[in-house]
Each structure stands twice: as C-alpha cells, then as structure tokens.
Structure 1
Amino acid sequence: MFITFEGIDGSGKSTQARRLAAALEAEGRPVVLTREPGGSPGAEEIRRLVLEGDPARWSAATELLLFTAARRDHLERLIAPALAEGKIVICDRFVDSTRMYQGLSRGDLRAEVDALHRLMIGREADLTFLIDIDPAVGLARAKGRQTAEERFEDFGLGLQEQMRAGFLALAQEFAPRFCVIDGARAPDAVAASILARAREALA
C-alpha cells in the first residue's frame, strides 16, 4: 500500500508520517518511510535546488518540471521497487503538494501538473492523510524550525491560507482516497486517528 501525508507547512504531517511508520513497524509490517521532494539520491539533490534560496529563484513552471523530475527518480529507485516487494510505502508529500503549490498557489498550472503526472508518474496514492490546521499556527511552527529550507514559508501567510483551502478542495475531488485529520488536537490523538484509519485500510 502507498500512503501519503499532505498539508500546509507546519501542519505536523512529517511527525505523523514518522509516527505511523513506527507504529506499523511495531506491528511487524514491512514499512518504507520516505519524503518529497527527495527520497532518492538524485531527488535529494533537486530538493536542495527547490527548497533553498530566494523565493523568486524559480518560476512555478520551472518548479513543476523540477518536482516532476525528482518524483520520477524517487518512483523508479525507491517507491515502485518497495511496493513490488510488498512493503507499505509512507511518503511525506507527493503529487497533491505539486497540484497545490505549482498548480494552484504559485501559478495556474493545474492542467499541466496533471498532464505531466499522467505521462511521467502514472500512479496516485492508495490512501492520503491530509493534516488540517490553522495556517497562522502552521506558519509559526514552520518558521520556528529555522532551517535552510524555508523558501516556500517565505511567501507568507497568504500562500498558506490559499494552500489550506486548496487542499480541502482536493480532498473533496479525490474523496475516496483522502482522509482529513484535525491537526489542532494533541499529537497523540492525531496519531491514534491516523493509525486506526491505516489499520482499516490495510485489513
């Protein structure tokens, strides 16, 4: 099964992806935890290009091409082989983030995102957890990390608000595979809800 986590910056999705992986591994299930952009050596190199530096470094169209290249390498080298071996792949972000950041918020490129995805990637997640949180809270958390990877956070609160609305709309568009989780609760409560839904899907 291919499980992805989505949400605005600072939503807690990375933490919850790690917690789900650990919980499923503790049950004896074979799990691969990965992330996007990144997850393979080539994709990690592209990650540095797109997440660091000045916000105006790349146009939305260029970002789309870079993210798709990273995703293709990730798919070939890690995701597809792991799934073929019967493992559960848990990925922190996938194409839904590209549909939002480049397809909606950074440019009117949704059609191009979907066309490239069909051509070069060709698969969706089996289950997607959307961690929903107030954009102001998420942005404060994200900026508080103080890492070099703050290029998208530097676009400000307006982008995060647009992203939240877009993700919720995407959850309706792809309703069968999306599970929207209230990220404002305590982390343990969030993790418990996610694990229960994942077990249900894996049954």
Structure 2
Amino acid sequence: MARSLRTRRGGPRLRAVALTGIDGSGKTTQAHRLAEALTAAGRPATYHRNAGGRRWLGRLAHRLGRPDAQRLVGRNAMLAVESVLRWLAIALALLSCLVTGRTAVMDRYSACQYASIRAHGGQRWERLARAGYRIFPAPQVTFLLAVDPAEAYRRIERRGTDHESMRWLTAAATAYRTLPEYPTFVVVDAGGSPDEVSRRIRAHLTEWLPTDDDRPASAGPPPGGADPPPAGGGTPERIDPLPAQARP
C-alpha cells in the first residue's frame, strides 16, 4: 500500500490524478465522483475517459460473429489500435487541462495500456507503447483500484453492457502488479461499496480535499448534510458548487 498523501495545505495545484485497475474495479464511477468532489471543494475538475476502444471493438466483433476483438482483427492490430486511441485521448485530456487550468481526473492512463499489453502477452508492443507515451507527465497521484477478479467479473455481468472472461481479468490483475510503476501507485481496496471506496480515495487527497477535521465548528455539517437555519429564520440560502465537466 502506497503512503497516504496527507500534507500541509497550500501545496502545488493538483493538475492530474489517474484511476487505474482491471475492468469492473469501479474506475469510471470513482473518477466521476472525484471530479465532482474536487469541483465542490473549489478546485474545478474535469472527468476524462481515456478509453482505448477495446470494448467498442468487442461489440463489433460480436455483431460480426466473432467471440472477441482479438479474433476479429488479430492481437497485434488490436494492441496497435488500442495504444493509438488511448494515446490520443490522454493527449487531448492533458491539453484541455493545460488550457483551462482545471484538474484532469483520468479514467485510465498509460499504465492501463501497459497492463493491457502484458495481459495479452505482447511484450514487444509494450516497448513501443512506452516510447510513445513517454512524453506524458506522470499524474501527481495514480490510484490502483484493487479488486478480486471474481468480484470484478460479477460486477461486469450485472451491468450487462459487455463481457470479460475470468482468465482475462486474472491476467490483467497480475499485469498491474508486475508493472515497474506499481510501487508508485496508491493501492485502494475497491472491494467495498462505492461510498467506502470514495472515502478511501479522498483520504489520500487531503492536500486538496477538505476533511471533517478541517471544517471550523461554525461551518455546520459536511456537504450532503442539512444546512443550519439562518439566524433570522426563513429558508437558508443555497450555494451551488461549480459543475464538474466531463470529456469523452
């Protein structure tokens, strides 16, 4: 487990944070939640889904009577397409972050591509991918949402939008643990409820997200609780947070 990132306030701006992990680990749910939490805390953030197109290729394969994307286009072609599409998505996300000054919350990052390549047994492609992805700076925080492959499989089956085999999920989980970047990841137990996982993620971002201990006694309950009534009675004034933006 990587160390918590608890530090004093007033540190550097949070430019980018990435959420990685196998399919079914809850990356998309937690990335959306984190972007909203940062924005509500006064640190405008944008969600970016850095997909590689593998799910789309899998759906196309099924329509054409093939079991999966690899059987449709071949392993090498699939890894090449996935690497290029994810590279483009990350580049656009980082450019948007640079132009707007918003925090980029990355749903997948370069480590996801390296793990995908390893899980498919394409080590030669990993060297090429690393050469191309080297221009991207490492996010200030990279979370690895760790979940048992069997639980991930059950989640994927429940959502019913795609399918992954236990063999693939197990290989992907192993691939993440063997990456040279693994010691730098903040490993979060993602086996609990979405609320539990969100709390674990926030506990590692206290430099940028307030905690209950940081709130003055007069500030009232934390976000999500009831607002204290105004001194003169009547309806309390509502202050809406800045909206979190999303990019596909």
Question: Taking structure 1 as the reference length, what is the TM-score of the superposition?
Answer: 0.80
Give matches, 1:44-123, under 5 Å: 49-54=56-61, 55=68, 56-102=71-117, 104-109=118-123, 110-118=126-134, 121-123=135-137
Distance 1:137 1:89 in 2: 28
Identity %: 30
- 1:182 corresponds to which of 179, 189, 195: 189
- 2:31 corresponds to which of 17, 24, 35: 17
Distance 2:141 2:79 in 1: 23
CA contact (8 A) 2:38 2:209 kept: no
Structure 2: which 5+ runs fail to align? 1-14, 62-67, 211-248
Task: Write the deviation string for residues 20-79 of structure 1: whole angstroms up to 9, x where unpaired.
Answer: 1111111111101011217xxxxxxx5665342331123332223222322343244332
* 2:155 is the alignment partner of 1:146: no
1:162 aligned residue: 171
1:43 aligned residue: none
Aligned to 1:185, the other structure's residue is in SS state coil
- The structure having more radius of gyration, on CA atoms, is 2
Pairwise CA RMSD: 2.4
CA contact (8 A) 2:54 2:78 kept: no
For 1:175, the aligned partner's letter is: P
How far off its partner does 1:199 sit?
Answer: 3.0
Distance 1:19 1:159 in 2: 27
2:205 aligned residue: 198
Structure 1: which 5+ runs fail to align? 39-45
Cα 1:60–1:77 shift into 2, 3 Å: same
Aligned to 2:144, the other structure's residue is in SS state strand
Distance 1:51 1:30 in 2: 34
Task: Write the deviation string for residues 96-140 of structure 1: whole angstroms up to 9, x where unpaired.
Answer: 1110112x111232222212323xx53332211111011011011
- 2:145 corresponds to which of 131, 137, 140: 131
Cα 1:59–1:198 shift into 2, 3 Å: farther
Question: Taking structure 2 as the reference length, what is the TM-score of the superposition?
Answer: 0.67
Distance 1:199 1:52 in 2: 40
Distance 2:144 2:24 in 1: 12
Task: Write the deviation string for residues 152-172 of structure 1: whole angstroms up to 9, x where unpaired.
Answer: x1xx111111111221233x6
